[in-house]
Amino acid sequence: MSDQVLERDGQLTLDIDPDRLLRRITELARIGADQATGGITREGFSAADRQARTYLMQQARAAGLLPSVDAAGNIVIRTAAAESGDQVLMMGSHLDTVVNGGRLDGAYGVLAALEVVQTFTESGLKPVHEPVAVAFANEEGALFPQPFWGSMAIAGRLASLPKDPRDHHGRPLSEALRQAGGDLDALGSACWPPGSITAYLELHIEQGPVLERSGSRIGVVEAITGRTVLTVEVRGTAGHSGTSPMEGRHDAMTTAARIVLAAEHLARDRRLCRVMTVGRVDPYPNTPNTIAGTVRLTVDLRDTSVWRMAGAEEALRRMLQTIEAATGTEIEVVAETRSDPVSTSPGLCAAIEAGADGLGLPHERLPSGAGHDAQVVADIAPVGMIFVPSLGGISHVPQEDTAPEDLLAGARVLLRTALRVACTDHTPPAGHSRPVD
Please give the residue ranges that form the binding site for ligand HGY (CB under 6 A).
139-140, 147, 370-371
CA distance 317 to 61: 49
Instruction: Return the ∠ at Cα 120 (arms to 349 and 109), rounded to 5°.
Output: 50
Q: Which is nearer to Mn ion, 94 or 129 (CB)?
A: 94
Q: Which does 313 bind (CB under 5 to 8 A by kind): ligand HGY, Mn ion, none?
A: none
CA 284 from centroid of its chain's CA atoms: 29
Nearer to ligand HGY, 131 or 371 (CB): 371
Least Å distance between CB 391 and Mn ion?
16
Q: CB nearer to Mn ion: give 236 or 410.
A: 410
Among 92, 106, 141, 384, binds Mn ion (CB under 5 A): 106
Q: How far is the CB of 147 from ligand HGY (least distance, A)?
A: 6
**Minimum CB distance to ligand HGY smaller for 140 or for 324:** 140
Under the binding rule (CB under 5 A), the answer on residue 324 touching Mn ion is no
Total residues found in the chain within this entry? 437
With CA atoms as reference, report the closest residue to 283 among 325, 241, 244, 245. 241
The closest of 173, 184, 370, 363 to 274, measured between CA atoms, is 370
**Minimum Å distance from CB 238 to ligand HGY?**
32
Spatial distance between the Cα atoms of 434 and 303, rounded to a whole number of angstroms:
11
The residue among 185, 147, 158 whose CA lies nearest residue 45 is: 147
User: Residue 371 binds which one of ligand HGY, Mn ion, none, with CB within 5 to 8 A depending on kind?
Assistant: ligand HGY
Residues in 189-248 that interact with Mn ion by CB under 5 A: none
Q: What residue type is assigned to position 332 of the chain?
A: E
Helix (H) or strand (E) holding 42: none
Comparing CB distances to Mn ion, the nearer of 106 and 341 is 106
Taking the complex as a whole, how short is the minimal distance between the CB of residue 123 and ligand HGY, in angstroms? 33
The candidate with the shortest Cα–Cα distance to 110, out of 211, 47, 31, is 31
Q: Which is nearer to Mn ion, 102 or 236 (CB)?
A: 102
Q: Cα(270)–Cα(174) distance, rounded to whole angstroms?
A: 40
Q: Is 49 in the site for Mn ion (CB under 5 A)?
A: no
Taking CB atoms, the residue at the shortest distance from ligand HGY is 370
105 lies in the site for Mn ion, by CB under 5 A: yes
Task: Give dist(CA 147, CA 134) in Å, integer.
Answer: 16
Residues that bind Mn ion (CB under 5 A): 105-106
